[in-house]
C-alpha cells in the first residue's frame, strides 16, 4: 500500500487554472439568478480568482475569454493580476455570439466571414503577446441542424485551412505558444458538429504541427463515454494539451468538477499520472470550465480545485507495482482491489496537514468564509455582470 508521505512531494506545484467566467452570474435559458458580490469588471473577476489561489495555493492563473474580458490595455491587466499574486493563463476565442457566424465561422463558405473569424483569432494572439499567455484555446460552435444543410466534408477542408492560417501566425509569437482545439459532440448544432470528438480534433491538430493539441472538456461527451480511455490515447499520441474540468449529470452541465462522479475524475487523473500527463515534466494544462448557477462562486471554485487535488492525491496513491503484478497475473479482482483501495482512501486530513506545512489554511473553505472577503464584495459590488455566455 502506498502511503500519503510517499506521494506528498508529487503534489507540489500542482496548478489548476480557473476561468474568468466562473465568477460571473450564470444560469440556464430559463433563469439567471444574480449572486450578491458578483464582479462588475474583468479586474474584479481577476481579484476573485486571486482569492481562490490565496486560500488554496492551487490556482495560480486565470483564463480569459475574448471578447468577454476585453480591456484596452492587456499589459496593464497582466501587471494588475501579478500584483494580486495571480497570472493570466489561457486565452479563449469566441466565434459563437455574432450573427455573421450563424452558418459557420472558420468553416463558413464565404471567405469574408472566414477571414473575420481568423482576424478574431489574430486579435486573441495579440492579447497573448501582451499577457504572456501560452495557450490559445479554440472551441467552435459550428455545425448544422439538418441533413443536407451543409457540406460536411467541405467544412472540414475549410476548417483545416483556417486553422493553418491561425497556427502559422501563432508560431511567430515565440517558441512556447500552443493552439489547443476543443471538441464537443453537440450543441449549439445538433445534426452534425464540425469538431465533435477527440478524433476529429486530433486529425485537425496533427495536420498543423507539434504545437497544436487537443483540449478535453469533461462535459463534452455522450453519456457512458469512457473518458479516461481518451485521456490515455491522447497522452500516448502526445496530443493531450489541456483539460476543461467540470461535471455533468446530463450534458454540458458545467457543474463543479468531481461533484457528479468523483470516481470518474479519479480514473481520469490516474491515466494522467500513468501516462506522463501530470507533474513537472508534463505540459498538460489543468483548467476548470465551470459556472455556478445557484451557489456562491468563490466557494464553488475553492471546492472545485480542492476536488481536483483530492482525486490527484488518490490517483497517486495507486500502488502501480502491485497493480501491474495483478494485471500480469490475470488477477482480475486483485487488480481492481488495488485500484479501489486508492480511490477509497480519505486523503483530506493528510492534505489539511500538508497545506499547513506550507503556510496555507488547513481548511481553505472555512478560512475563506471567515475572512470577510465575501461580505466585503457583497457590500461593495452592486449590479454584478452576467457571465458572457448566456
- Site residues (CB under 5 A) for Mn ion? 217, 244, 252, 289
Q: How far is the CB of 274 from ligand LRH (least distance, A)?
A: 26
Dihedral sign of CA atoms 130, 287, 140, 256 in order: negative
Which of ligand LRH, Mn ion, none lies near 92, with the C-beta cut-off 5 to 8 A by kind?
ligand LRH
Q: How far is the CB of 375 from Mn ion (least distance, A)?
A: 32
Nearer to Mn ion, 86 or 90 (CB): 90
Phi, psi of 45, rounded to the nearest 5 degrees: -65, -40
Phi, psi of 86, rounded to the nearest 5 degrees: -125, 180
Phi, psi of 193, rounded to the nearest 5 degrees: -120, 140
Nearer to Mn ion, 228 or 289 (CB): 289
Here's the x/- map for ligand LRH, 180-199, by CB under 6 A: it reads as --x-x---------------
Q: How far is the CB of 184 from ligand LRH (least distance, A)?
A: 6
Nearer to ligand LRH, 137 or 350 (CB): 137
Which of Mn ion, ligand LRH, none lies near 310, with the C-beta cut-off 5 to 8 A by kind?
none
Could you please report the per-residue DSSP string of 268-322? Answer: HHHHHHHHT-SSTT--PEEEE----SSS-HHHHHHHHHHHHHHHHHHHHTS-HHH
In sequence order, what are the residues at sequence separation of 6 or more whose Cβ sits closer than 8 angstroms to the Cβ of residue 344? none
CB 180 within 8 A of CB 92: no
CB 260 within 8 A of CB 217: no
Label residues 334-351 b or e (16+ Cβ within 10 Å = b). Answer: ebeebbebbbebebeebb
Nearer to Mn ion, 217 or 364 (CB): 217
Cis bond before residue 7 (omega within 30° of 0)? no
Nearer to Mn ion, 96 or 344 (CB): 96
Q: Which of 139, 183, 198, 339 binds ligand LRH (CB under 6 A)?
A: 139
User: Within positions 370 to 389, which residues make up the interface with ligand LRH, using CB under 6 A?
Assistant: 389
Nearer to ligand LRH, 17 or 244 (CB): 244
- Grid look-up 500552443 returns 178
Is residue 244 a contact point for ligand LRH (CB under 6 A)? yes
Per CB under 6 A, residues contacting ligand LRH are 21, 92, 139, 182, 184, 217, 244, 252, 289, 389
Amino acid at each position: 500500500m502506498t502511503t500519503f508521505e510517499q506521494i506528498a512531494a508529487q503534489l507540489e506545484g500542482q496548478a489548476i487554472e480557473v476561468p474568468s467566467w466562473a465568477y460571473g452570474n450564470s444560469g440556464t435559458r430559463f433563469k439567471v439568478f444574480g449572486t450578491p458580490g458578483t464582479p462588475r469588471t474583468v479586474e474584479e473577476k481577476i481579484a476573485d480568482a486571486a482569492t481562490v489561489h490565496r486560500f488554496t495555493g492551487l490556482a495560480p492563473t486565470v483564463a480569459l475569454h475574448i471578447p468577454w474580458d476585453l480591456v484596452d490595455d492587456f499589459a496593464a491587466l497582466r501587471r494588475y493580476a501579478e500584483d494580486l499574486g495571480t497570472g493570466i493563463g489561457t486565452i479563449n476565442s469566441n466565434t459563437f455570439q455574432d450573427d455573421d457566424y450563424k452558418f459557420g465561422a472558420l468553416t463558413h463558405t464565404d471567405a469574408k466571414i472566414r477571414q473575420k473569424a481568423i482576424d478574431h483569432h489574430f486579435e486573441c494572439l495579440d492579447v497573448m503577446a501582451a499577457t504572456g499567455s501560452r495557450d490559445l484555446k479554440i472551441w467552435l460552435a459550428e455545425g448544422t441542424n439538418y441533413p443536407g444543410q451543409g457540406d460536411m466534408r467541405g467544412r472540414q477542408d475549410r476548417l483545416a485551412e483556417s486553422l493553418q492560417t491561425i497556427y502559422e501566425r501563432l508560431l511567430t509569437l515565440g517558441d512556447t505558444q500552443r493552439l489547443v482545439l476543443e471538441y464537443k459532440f453537440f450543441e449549439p448544432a445538433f445534426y452534425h458538429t464540425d469538431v465533435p470528438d477527440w478524433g476529429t480534433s486530433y486529425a485537425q491538430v496533427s495536420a498543423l504541427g507539434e504545437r497544436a493539441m487537443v483540449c478535453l472538456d469533461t462535459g463534452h461527451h455522450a453519456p457512458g463515454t469512457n473518458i479516461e480511455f481518451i485521456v490515455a490515447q491522447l497522452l500516448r499520441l502526445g496530443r493531450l494539451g489541456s483539460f476543461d474540468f467540470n461535471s455533468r449529470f446530463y450534458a454540458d452541465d458545467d457543474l463543479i468538477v468531481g461533484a457528479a462522479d468523483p470516481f470518474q475524475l479519479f480514473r481520469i487523473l490516474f491515466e494522467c499520472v500513468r501516462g506522463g500527463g501530470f507533474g513537472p515534466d508534463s505540459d498538460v494544462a489543468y483548467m476548470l470550465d465551470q459556472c455556478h448557477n445557484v451557489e456562491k462562486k468563490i466557494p464553488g471554485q475553492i471546492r472545485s480545485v480542492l476536488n481536483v487535488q483530492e482525486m490527484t492525491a488518490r490517483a497517486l496513491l495507486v500502488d502501480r507495482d502491485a497493480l501491474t503484478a495483478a494485471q500480469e497475473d490475470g488477477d482480475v479482482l486483485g487488480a481492481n482491489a488495488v485500484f479501489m483501495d486508492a480511490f477509497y482512501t480519505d486523503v483530506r486530513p493528510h492534505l489539511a496537514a500538508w497545506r499547513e506545512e506550507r503556510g496555507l489554511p488547513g481548511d481553505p473553505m472555512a478560512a475563506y468564509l471567515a475572512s470577510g472577503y465575501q461580505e466585503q464584495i457583497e457590500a461593495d459590488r452592486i449590479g454584478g455582470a452576467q457571465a458572457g455566455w448566456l
